[in-house]
A and B are shown apart, each in its own frame.
Chain A
Amino acid sequence: MSHAGYIDSNVLIKTEGLKVYFVKGGFLSEKQITKAVDGVDMKINKGEVMALVGESGSGKTTLGRAMIGLQKPTDGKIIYNRDNNPIIITPKTKIIKHIRKELQMVYQDPYSSIDPYMKVYDALSMPLKYAKIKNKESINKKIEEVLNMVGLPLDLINNYVFQLSGGQRQRLSIARALSLDPRFLVADEPVTMLDASLKGEIVDLLKKINKKTGITILFITHELPIAKIIANRISVMYKGKIVESGRAQTVLTDPLHPYTQVLLEAYPKINPESKDTIKTIKVKESNISASKIKGCPFYDRCPFATQKCLEKMPDIKSISSDHEVACWLY
């Protein structure tokens, strides 16, 4: 645990120049480097819900995992403001048990993130046992508390996980994460695998939990409308870089980055009148090899791209009090 230097007291967790590169091959075959996270500066304030929005392959899951120490960064820092005592998070953070507790995760697939052959009671009590809550009574009390919080009936504890539906399992997943009283919760596409009719419940649940306990949430998703419902702030990610971020309302009603703009345009809206109109999608076909682009990752698809965009990565500019964009248009 080394001291990380200055961090704003409002901020719970932040990244500085975070890079996560995956290297395949290298010994006998050609090295293939995937730049999943390519220089990300992100700040998440205490008690807020930050939505990390991006398509699959944008690196958002890797970013989320790195932030809680599940993925070793290739470069850069992750600073966790623990009671005004900043700590750098590394994969070794798990060894320090009380830190590990505070950074939790809810996974995308409720069918594989909890062992289906476990009893619900065991799934909930085990983390508590190893968090040094030895007293059986306290454990049971905590279990009752979190089950209440996620809206699952108490008598479910005698069931096996495989007897639960997808929606119930996801609630259980949330309950399990909450039982350790975490400060920061990374929710990695928590509703993507659920039916449309269930998405609302889980999103509402997380919203409620955030309001009630003040827990900070990083909500990772590729579904913009879902982000809109729950997020205080949004960061839009494209090919490993944050291209735009700010207050959810602002970003969604007044998108600045061409990518954000085209994303919002392309997203289906309830609009039966438009059934015969061709939507304008302001995006070029990609035809340049990714490795040749030294600057903005959106260069090859951006209708406004210039030579500068090809060569240099845009700086992050603050357009208004809580709206930043990384684009040479500004």
Chain B
Amino acid sequence: MPLLSVRDFSIHFYTPKGVRKAVDRVNLDLSKKEVIGIAGESGSGKSTLAMGIMRLITPPGKIVGGKILFNNEDILSYNEGKFNKEIRWKKISMIFQGSMNGFTPVFKIGQQIEEVLEIHEYKGNFKERVNELLKMVELDPSVSDKYPHELSGGMRQRAFIAMALALNPEILICDEPTTALDVITQAKIINLLKTLKKDLGLSIIFITHDLALLSEISDRLYIMYAGGIMESGYSLDLYKNPKHPYTQLLMDSIADINKDYIKGIPGFMPDLANLPKGCRFSDRCPYAMEICKQKEPELKRIEGDRYVSCWLY
């Protein structure tokens, strides 16, 4: 049974230009000790999805529907107070792209992590926990006495991961956590996440546009486009054999050191307030058929754990 089950999740943004369907009826499953990757270009809605699960959507955005089952309970139905008390940062935690700048410059790292413990009523010795956390992210305990500006970007990102893990969450959502870091630090952070998965049994949702990066960490993969899931499945299979035309084109566009070409995807992502009739990828799809322009395909299971939203199947 999955740890987290997202069903029919939709987030709309109400702008003067219309209603932007940033996340459109998304289904997603996360099991214990699993890493799922959510891949997509900028504007695909992947970050909005993450923020939605953490209930951090602000107006003009609004969660308009769906269910989020955590251990079989619909946490979307909780009111904000209950969600904040029981779920946020306690069961599900998050790190972002700019997290390394998420620390206040005027307080020491240790103090800031202790503050989190305090706010969430951690029962236990604060200093011990801070040291424990820093060790977990492979930082020297002396870091707790340093100010954020005394640390490098990579170290700050680790410290933030420590802060995110302060209350021992079961799920960690990572939204482009390494995009702003150099490639060597990125590799180290990915290593760290893999270690945490193994040692703590952490389940991770890893969101990025970098498909090559995802291949190095994900067990399963979701491909997102213009607010909807196009394809999902085990990453081993998906990378070898992408089914959805968008996934195929995306794979071709990955810059991998072993390739000597990268192909582009012609066209533009549609305006989320004005999605085309039928399949949202139809105007860029090389295999678009008549039905693709008329009716939106359902996310269908085609084999094993592979789901595709495409009329070709």
- Is there any pair of Cβ atoms, one from A and one from B, under 8 angstroms apart in the complex? yes
- A170 vs chain B, min Cβ distance (A): 12
| Interface membership of B290, Cβ < 8 A | no
Those of A202-232 within 8 Å (CB) of chain B: 203, 222-226, 228-229
Assuming the contacts A199-B262, A268-B213, A270-B211, asked whether A223 and B255 have C-beta atoms less than 8 A apart, the reply is yes
State the Cβ distance, B189 to closest chain A Cβ, in Å: 11
Q: Which residue of A lies closest to B260 (CB)?
A: A229
Please determine whether B195 and A278 come into contact, CB atoms closer than 8 angstroms.
yes
Q: 0/1 per residue, A275-289, Cβ < 8 Å to B?
A: 111110101001000
Contact string against B for A residues 248-264, beta-carbon threshold 8 Å, 1 for contact and 0 otherwise:
00001000000000111
Asked if B108 is at the interface (CB within 8 A of a chain A CB), the reply is no
* Given A229-B262, A268-B215, A195-B183 contact (CB < 8 Å): no
Which residues of chain B have C-beta atoms less than 8 A from A252's C-beta? 257
Q: Is residue B75 within 8 Å, beta carbon to beta carbon, of the partner chain?
A: no
Is B239 part of the binding interface, using a Cβ–Cβ cutoff of 8 Å? yes
- Write the B178-218 contact mask toward A (1 if CB under 8 angstroms, else 0): 00001110111011001100100000000001111101111
Binary CB contact string for chain B from 208 to 247 against chain A (1 if under 8 A, 0 otherwise): 0111110111110000000000000001101110000000
Expressed in whole angstroms, the Cα–Cα distance for A104 and B152 within the complex equals: 35
Q: Which of A197, A225, A272 contacts B257 (CB 8 A)?
A: A225
Does A274 interact with chain B (Cβ within 8 Å)? yes
Q: Are the C-beta atoms of A225 and B268 separated by less than 8 Å?
A: no
Q: Are B216 and A196 in contact (CB under 8 A)?
A: no
Task: Tell yes or no: A27 within 8 A of B by CB.
Answer: no
Q: Please name all residues of chain B whose beta carbon is closer than 8 Å to the beta carbon of A197 when the two chains form the complex.
A: 41, 249-250, 253, 264-265
Q: Which of chain A's residues has its CB closest to B209's CB?
A: A196
B195: nearest chain-A partner, CB-CB: A278
Task: Answer whether A281 and B187 are a contact pair too, CB < 8 Å, given A252-B257, A268-B210.
Answer: yes
Contact call B255/A225, Cβ cutoff below 8 A? yes
Q: How far is the CA of A264 from the CA of B256 in the complex (A)?
A: 11
Known: A270-B256, A271-B215. A195 touches B210 (CB 8 A): no
Cβ of A198 within 8 Å of any chain B Cβ, yes or no, is yes
Partner of A264, one of B236, B250, B257: B257
Residue of B with least CB distance to A167: B264
The answer to whether A269 and B212 touch across the interface, beta carbons within 8 angstroms, is yes
Q: How far is the CA of A123 from the CA of B198 in the complex (A)?
A: 56
- Chain B: residues with Cβ within 8 Å of the partner, total of 47
How many Å from the CB of B35 to the closest CB on chain A?
7
Write out the residue numbers on chain A whose beta carbons fall within 8 Å of the beta carbon of B253. 196-197, 199-200
Most chain A Cβ neighbours within 10 Å, of B35, B235, B262: B262
Q: Do A275 and B235 touch (CB < 8 A)?
A: yes
Are B182 and A55 touching (Cβ within 8 A)? yes
Q: B216 contacts A268, CB within 8 Å?
A: yes
- Write the chain B residue with the least CB distance to A201: B264
**When the two chains form their complex, are residues B183 and A275 in contact, meaning their CB atoms are under 8 A apart?**
no
Contact with B along A141-159 (1 / 0, CB 8 A): 0000000000000000000
Find out whether the CB atom of B262 lies under 8 angstroms from the CB atom of A56: no
Q: Is A266 part of the contact surface with B, judged by Cβ < 8 Å?
A: yes
Residues of chain A from 41 to 75 with CB closer than 8 A to chain B in the complex: 55-56
Most buried by A among B41, B209, B235, B260: B260
Q: Is there contact, CB below 8 Å, between A225 and B217?
A: no
Chain A: interface residue total (CB-CB under 8 A): 40
Counting CB contacts under 8 A, is B254 at the interface? yes
- Per-position 1/0 for B113-133, Cβ under 8 A of A: 000000000000000000000
Contacts of B35 in A (CB 8 A): 275
Instruction: Assess whether A224 is in contact with B254, with CB atoms less than 8 Å apart.
Output: no
Report whether A281 and B184 are in contact in the complex, using a CB–CB cutoff of 8 Å: yes
Q: What per-residue 1/0 map shows which CB atoms of B89-110 lie under 8 Å from chain A? A: 0000000000000000000000
Answer yes or no: B263 CB below 8 A from chain A CBs.
yes
Tell yes or no: A267 within 8 A of B by CB. yes
Given A195-B42, A263-B184: A276 touches B256 (CB 8 Å cut-off):
no
**A200 x B262 contact (CB < 8 A):** yes
Contact assessment for A262 and B184 in the assembled complex, using a CB-CB cutoff below 8 Å? yes
Which of chain B's residues have a CB closer than 8 A to the CB of A286? 152
A267 contacts B257, CB within 8 Å? yes
Partner of B261 from A200, A275, A278 at Cβ < 8 Å: A200
Contact partner of A269 (CB less than 8 A), chosen from B190, B235, B236, B258, is B258
Chain B: CB-nearest residue to A287: B140
Partner of A281, one of B191, B195, B217: B191
* Docked pose: A199 CA to B210 CA in angstroms: 13
Q: Does B17 contact A (CB under 8 A)?
A: no
- Write the nearest CB–CB distance from A304 to chain B, whole angstroms: 16
Nearest 10 pairs between A and B by C-beta? A266-B187, A197-B265, A200-B262, A225-B255, A268-B212, A268-B213, A201-B264, A200-B264, A55-B182, A272-B235
Binding site for B on A (CB under 8 A): 55-56, 165, 195-201, 203, 222-226, 228-229, 252, 262-279, 281, 283, 286
Binding site for A on B (CB under 8 A): 35, 41-42, 152, 182-184, 186-188, 190-191, 194-195, 198, 209-213, 215-219, 235-236, 238-240, 249-251, 253-265, 268
Query: Could you list 9 A-B pairs, sorted by A, with CB under 8 Å?
Result: A55-B184, A224-B183, A228-B257, A266-B183, A267-B257, A268-B213, A270-B256, A271-B215, A275-B217
Interface contacts beyond A200-B264, A275-B235, A278-B195: sample of 12 additional A-B pairs, CB < 8 Å, sorted by A:
A195-B42, A200-B262, A222-B183, A225-B257, A226-B255, A229-B262, A269-B257, A272-B235, A276-B194, A276-B198, A279-B191, A283-B184
